[in-house]
Chain A
Amino acid sequence: MPISGTMDVAAFAAGAHLAEIHGFKTEDWTLKGAQILNVYYEVDIDLAQRLMPVTVHPVIPAYAMFNVTHYPESPVGPFTIADVRLGCRAGVRPRGLTLASYVDSEAAARELAQRWGFPTRVGKVALRAFHDRVVGRVVTAEGRLALEVEMLDRDFISGGDVQYVSSMHLCRNREDGKLTIVQCDPEWTFSKAERGRPNLVSFDSALWNGGDKVRPNWPISASYAIADVTLSKIRYVSDPNQDAFRGTTQVAA
């Protein structure tokens, strides 16, 4: 059967920066005009497997998603967020397991963590579009470069050609103190999309809850899109110590 994640969840949680979610009831956020840079790289699958709870399976080949998104408006004002995710499957469904997020707004970092369990930290996060490239850059609050990623040779495609996946966030539920995996199912309405050549300039796995285990080894693709994004209410949560079929609970319709 497909290989599953082998993470020691308790040990990982003890050493990682995870969010404390305030229950599973939240309302939608509609975020207009988001600028989204996504860069995909294949990664070492044996190591990636150790960063995944048994709930999910690594995709074959394993890959990481480097995402930097600028939201020009939100209920807490404009903000830019960067995530590193590992491509995975929950049962048969494609997902991105978020290892860590950096946000350039304290209010946004707090709200995203409390409402959807994003493992946020505050940092300097920038997304810049130039005529020949789009660049995402993350510097921690301590001044360390965590990520610099580019899409080169910009080329227009259709928004319909872009396929994003829902994300999953390992977090602690304030209501019962238990570790849980929250599934975040955004909806995207694209107004513009581009594809280009991926270039990972700098990446420090340890600054993304990855220890030394996220090792990008082959570029796949890069895309840049402008879209209206709806962060929807939470519908599914999973027990990180069980497979998705047995351990997933529906918490809203």
Chain B
Amino acid sequence: MKFGIFYEISVPRPWDPGVEKRVFDNCLEQVALADELGFDSVWAVEHHFLEEYSHCSAPELFLTACAMRTKKMRVGHGIVVCVPEFNHPIKIAERTATLDILSGGRLEVGTGRSATWNELGGFRANPDETKRTWDEFVRCLPKMWTQERFGYQGRSWSMPVRTILPKPIQKPHPPMWVAVTSPGTEIDAAERGLGSLGLTFGSVKEQETKVENYRRIIANCEPVGEIVNNQVSTVNFLFCHEDTEKGNKLGRRMLGTFNFLAAQLLAAREAYPTKSYPSLGLLPSLRKEASGPADPAGVPEGIAIGDPERVLRACKRWESVGVDRINFLLNAMETIPQEEVLNSLRTFAKHVMPHFQDSSSHAAAAGGGR
């Protein structure tokens, strides 16, 4: 099991002149500490126009800043929107290769297609087309990274033969992932040999079924790249505190704030009837989570909130269903004071990480140990 941290970068109103900088600075301070503590990776979303919920519209810049402040952590796009109105594929290839170089070969590339009308409508993208453009993009990117010269005539985009520069330093190329929100997307990931980057907070049982499907199908995949990235990652909240009551209370507040905020967005399917988005994606999952079954402390199953013992149980539960990585959301709307977030990372590294094989050597640096 590997542990990462995951950023939406939510910024509470009122948006006074300094508030965005304060939030970004807090995130970067967390990243630097997480690197010292042995967290494996930092991921950043690409979202546009999502008021308060996410001000992370230029993740390549944020991730570059993360790479400059860290030594070991991998930096991950979670995800790049593979829709031409958002990002031209040539620019994606160029930007990601540059970030791979600047980070010393620590880049992970998550791909996806957006699921809100806020974003799709804002860029005037056709929701019917996004799955197709995503498929074209993920098949082109590895070739753009690895071939000296590349030309393409496709459905959503084309280019004459050119040399796309620079090239990533990871060989054959950085690992690729797919955001899995809609049911069945884990199958799309597996068929293409891509990692499954879970971005919803579904139940353990749901995830178990997805993992089983994914492992079965990827065993016989036709990879779009030159490597198969057979990994399942899921996202979770993290607030770990040695005082059980405080851990539960602050953690629940973060969870509730995040869900409440996300629910105000307009899902693509809610606004625009299309078979391209068979479910509402992230939003109903969050609503379900907000009202789903919880333990006596009010924390839903599988959520890494509470004292170290409870957080450890939650992580072990995810490990038991075959999840390889958990990426943690550390805060929402700055609900939790920065010093508490940093202490939560330290507490997790000291008391929880050592119980997982892949993380134990790093956790020792935090003073942890069995």
Please state if B263 and A92 are interface contacts (CB–CB under 8 Å): yes
Please state if A163 and B286 are interface contacts (CB–CB under 8 Å): no
How many positions in chain A have a CB within 8 Å of any CB in the partner chain? 30
The contact of A163 among B259, B265, B270, by CB within 8 Å, is B270
B280 within 8 A of A: yes
Q: How far is the CA of A3 from the CA of B271 in the complex (A)?
A: 20
Residues of chain A from 47 to 65 with CB closer than 8 A to chain B in the complex: 57-61, 63
Q: How far is the CA of A195 from the CA of B273 in the complex (A)?
A: 7
Please state if A1 and B275 are interface contacts (CB–CB under 8 Å): no
Residues of A within 8 A of B265 (CB): 59-60
Q: Which of A11-19, A70-78, A133-141, A215-223 contacts B (4 or more CB under 8 A)?
A: A215-223
The contact of B118 among A57, A60, A92, A195, by CB within 8 Å, is A60
B270 closest partner in A (C-beta): A163
Q: How far is the CA of A87 from the CA of B287 in the complex (A)?
A: 17
B333 within 8 A of A: yes
Please state if A1 and B260 are interface contacts (CB–CB under 8 Å): yes
The verdict on A220 contacting B272 (CB below 8 Å), with A59-B265, A60-B265 known, is: yes
Please state if B12 and A163 are interface contacts (CB–CB under 8 Å): no
Distance (Å) between the CB of B290 and the closest chain A CB? 6
The verdict on A60 contacting B51 (CB below 8 Å), with A2-B261, A89-B263, A91-B260 known, is: yes
Residues of chain B from 165 to 186 with CB closer than 8 A to chain A in the complex: none
Please state if B52 and A157 are interface contacts (CB–CB under 8 Å): no
Please state if A220 and B269 are interface contacts (CB–CB under 8 Å): no
Residues of A within 8 A of B361 (CB): none
Residues of chain B from 234 to 258 with CB closer than 8 A to chain A in the complex: 257
Residues of B within 8 A of A118 (CB): none
B163 within 8 A of A: no
Residues of B within 8 A of A66 (CB): none
B155 within 8 A of A: no
B227 within 8 A of A: no
A88 closest partner in B (C-beta): B264
Please state if A220 and B271 are interface contacts (CB–CB under 8 Å): yes
The verdict on A42 contacting B121 (CB below 8 Å), with A1-B12, A1-B333, A59-B264 known, is: yes
Please state if A2 and B273 are interface contacts (CB–CB under 8 Å): no
Residues of A within 8 A of B266 (CB): 59-61, 63, 87
Looking at A158, A161, A162, the one whose CB has the most chain B CB atoms below 10 A away is: A161
B122 closest partner in A (C-beta): A61
The contact of A218 among B12, B51, B121, B257, by CB within 8 Å, is B121
Q: How far is the CA of A94 from the CA of B52 in the complex (A)?
A: 19
Distance (Å) between the CB of A85 and the closest chain B CB? 13
Q: How far is the CA of A223 from the CA of B271 in the complex (A)?
A: 10
Q: How far is the CA of A35 from the CA of B220 in the complex (A)?
A: 47
Q: How far is the CA of A89 from the CA of B266 in the complex (A)?
A: 10
Please state if B260 and A2 are interface contacts (CB–CB under 8 Å): yes
Residues of B within 8 A of A87 (CB): 266
The verdict on A157 contacting B274 (CB below 8 Å), with A2-B260, A57-B264, A60-B51 known, is: yes
B117 within 8 A of A: yes
Distance (Å) between the CB of A64 and the closest chain B CB? 12
Residues of B within 8 A of A94 (CB): 263, 270
The verdict on A220 contacting B117 (CB below 8 Å), with A2-B260, A60-B266, A92-B286 known, is: yes
Residues of A within 8 A of B260 (CB): 1-2, 91-92
Please state if A193 and B290 are interface contacts (CB–CB under 8 Å): no
A24 within 8 A of B: no
The contact of A193 among B261, B273, B280, by CB within 8 Å, is B273
A40 within 8 A of B: yes
Please state if A161 and B274 are interface contacts (CB–CB under 8 Å): yes
Residues of B within 8 A of A42 (CB): 121
Distance (Å) between the CB of B238 and the closest chain A CB? 22
A174 within 8 A of B: no
Distance (Å) between the CB of A210 and the closest chain B CB? 20
B13 within 8 A of A: yes
Q: How far is the CA of A221 from the CA of B120 in the complex (A)?
A: 13
Other than A2-B260, A59-B266, A92-B286, give 12 A-B pairs with Cβ distance below 8 A: A1-B333, A2-B264, A60-B264, A89-B263, A92-B259, A92-B260, A92-B287, A92-B290, A162-B273, A163-B270, A195-B273, A218-B121
- 22 A-B residue pairings within 8 Å (CB atoms): A1-B13, A1-B260, A1-B261, A2-B260, A40-B271, A42-B121, A59-B265, A60-B51, A60-B118, A60-B264, A60-B265, A63-B266, A92-B259, A92-B290, A92-B291, A93-B287, A94-B263, A160-B275, A161-B274, A195-B273, A220-B121, A221-B273
Chain A residues engaging chain B, CB cutoff 8 angstroms: 1-3, 40, 42, 57-61, 63, 87, 89, 91-94, 157-158, 160-163, 165, 193, 195, 218, 220-221, 223
